[in-house]
């Protein structure tokens, strides 16, 4: 697969001016523009940088695909970033395990996130932190289905964080609109067909191995290129099963089969994922690699680092942020959006 990595990123009025002058190209509808293109085709030994305006076929065709705007995902316009609030109905999640294990506590947390400005609520009943063990689907469903049924009345899209086809089907029957699968529909052989049959949206996350052994798979020649190519394979598999690409978001899987350096490289080169023609979702909230920037702080003390990482991801093309701290993230995103889109200043 040929990939173009957008380089020389511009934002705000500078981006608009350079696009108008023919010196830069828009990066979808992210508000970003780029002037340079790194051309990558491992099958033919190509890895070079050119001015984006000078690209010739077949790279010109790839460029045209890269700049196509995505209009909406899960019923939300992608002209602005969206915030997905995390509700873990688990006893052992890395950051907040046990806090929302009771259904009433999980519902209250979801309601608070909605009031704080969340665009989506992501409900999960199985921890996938490094080293975690699987949860029986009956137990997973018992944890999350009452929560989903209660939160659908808020009018927000409800996402279910699960690897299990039976739980996907039950969650959709209970009112969920999005399937968020850390295995990119590879864990359960029935998952592809289950999602393809339903009128729902999908998040395909990159991970190698399983939560219990993924650290052993963190070996890459080029993490950003390989994650993009491996997600491209999962998008193609979903399309073959009958899932429309416009319904798919891709998540690079920060912290899943990646070490701290690989996480950073992946975030810095996030625009590579724009080659897939899918909405980009990033979840780095409170993750372990942020501890190095926050004096070794524990998960709940990594809020400022999480906000910095979230805004960094937005500046590289992410459109959905999956977070624990909704109120703080909503305020930061609105401020960032106003600063980079002056017409939106209140």
Q: Tell me if 285 sits within 8 A of 241, measured CB to CB.
A: no
Identify which of 114, 176, 181 has the alpha carbon closest to the alpha carbon of residue 149: 176
Reduce the DSSP state of residue 290 to 3 states and report it. helix
What's the mean pLDDT when you consider all of the chain?
93
Range with the lowest mean pLDDT among 145-154, 298-307, 311-320?
298-307
Confidence at 161, pLDDT banded by 50, 70, 90: very high
Q: For residue 58, which phi and psi values (nearest 5 degrees)?
A: -85, 0
Task: Give the model confidence (pLDDT) of 178-188 as tens digits.
Answer: 999 999 999 99
Task: Give the model confidence (pLDDT) of 71-120 as tens digits.
Answer: 899 999 888 899 999 999 988 665 655 677 789 999 999 999 999 999 99
DSSP symbols for 95-107: TTTTTT-SHHHHH
Helix axis angle, 165-173 to 137-151, nearest 10°: 20
Q: Would you name the residues annotated as active-site residues?
A: 287, 322
Q: In this predicted structure, what is the pLDDT of residue 134?
A: 84
Question: For 114, which DSSP code?
Answer: H
What does the alpha-carbon distance between residue 164 and residue 281 come to, in Å, rounded to a whole number? 21
Six-digit token pair at 130? Answer: 């490094």
Six-digit token pair at 53? Answer: 């305006």
Mean pLDDT over residues 237-253, rounded? 97
Q: In this predicted structure, what is the pLDDT of residue 92?
A: 64
CATH number of 72-344: 3.20.20.20
Q: In this predicted structure, what is the pLDDT of residue 98?
A: 64
Q: Tell me if 312 sits within 8 A of 267, measured CB to CB.
A: yes
**Which of residues 175 and 293 earns the better pLDDT score?**
175
Confidence at 133, pLDDT banded by 50, 70, 90: confident
Residue 244 CB partners (closer than 8 Å, separation 6+): none
Q: Tell me if 178 sits within 8 A of 74, measured CB to CB.
A: yes
Locate the domains of the chain by residue range.
Answer: 3-66, 72-344
Reduce the DSSP state of residue 178 to 3 states and report it. strand
Q: In this predicted structure, what is the pLDDT of residue 294?
A: 77
Please determine, for residue 11, whether its predicted confidence score (pLDDT) is greater than 60. Answer: yes
- Please, what's the largest Cα pairwise distance for the chain? 59
Strands of the chain (E only): list them.
Answer: 3-10, 25-26, 33-41, 46-51, 72-73, 76-77, 82-88, 120-124, 158-161, 178-181, 201-205, 248-251, 279-282, 320-323
- Provide the whole-model pTM: 0.95
Question: For 318, which DSSP code?
Answer: -
β-bridge partners, 3: 40
What does the alpha-carbon distance between residue 183 and residue 186 come to, in Å, rounded to a whole number? 5
CA 148 to chain centroid:
21
Q: In this predicted structure, what is the pLDDT of residue 346?
A: 46
């Amino acid at each position: 697969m040929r990939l173009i990595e957008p380089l020389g990123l511009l934002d705000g009025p500078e981006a608009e001016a350079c696009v108008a002058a023919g010196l830069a190209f828009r990066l979808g509808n992210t508000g970003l523009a780029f002037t340079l293109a790194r051309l990558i085709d491992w099958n033919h030994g190509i890895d070079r940088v050119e001015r984006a305006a000078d690209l010739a076929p077949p790279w010109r065709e790839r460029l045209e695909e890269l700049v196509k705007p995505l209009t909406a995902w899960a019923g939300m316009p992608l002209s602005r970033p969206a915030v997905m609030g995390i509700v873990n109905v688990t006893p052992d999640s890395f950051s907040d395990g046990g806090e929302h294990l009771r259904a009433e506590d999980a519902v209250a947390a979801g309601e608070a996130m909605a009031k704080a400005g969340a665009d989506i609520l992501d409900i999960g009943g199985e921890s996938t932190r490094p080293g975690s063990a699987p949860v029986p689907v009956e137990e997973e469903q018992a944890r999350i289905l009452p929560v989903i049924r209660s939160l659908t009345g808020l009018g927000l899209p409800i996402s279910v964080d699960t690897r299990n086809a039976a739980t996907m089907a039950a969650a959709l029957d209970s009112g969920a609109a999005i399937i968020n699968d850390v295995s990119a529909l590879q864990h359960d052989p029935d998952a592809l067909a289950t999602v393809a049959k339903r009128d729902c949206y999908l998040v395909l996350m990159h991970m190698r191995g399983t939560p219990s052994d993924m650290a052993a798979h963190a070996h890459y020649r080029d993490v950003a290129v390989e994650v993009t190519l491996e997600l491209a394979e999962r998008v193609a598999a979903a399309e073959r099963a009958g899932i429309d690409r416009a319904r798919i978001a891709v998540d690079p899987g920060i912290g899943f089969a990646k070490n701290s350096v690989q996480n950073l490289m992946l975030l810095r080169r996030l625009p590579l994922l724009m080659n897939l023609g899918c909405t980009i979702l990033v979840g780095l909230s409170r993750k372990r690699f942020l501890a190095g920037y926050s004096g070794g702080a524990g998960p709940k003390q990594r809020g400022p680092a999480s906000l910095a990482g979230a805004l960094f991801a937005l500046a590289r093309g992410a459109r959905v942020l999956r977070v624990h701290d909704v109120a703080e993230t909503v305020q930061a995103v609105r401020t960032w959006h106003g600063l980079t889109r002056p017409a939106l200043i209140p």
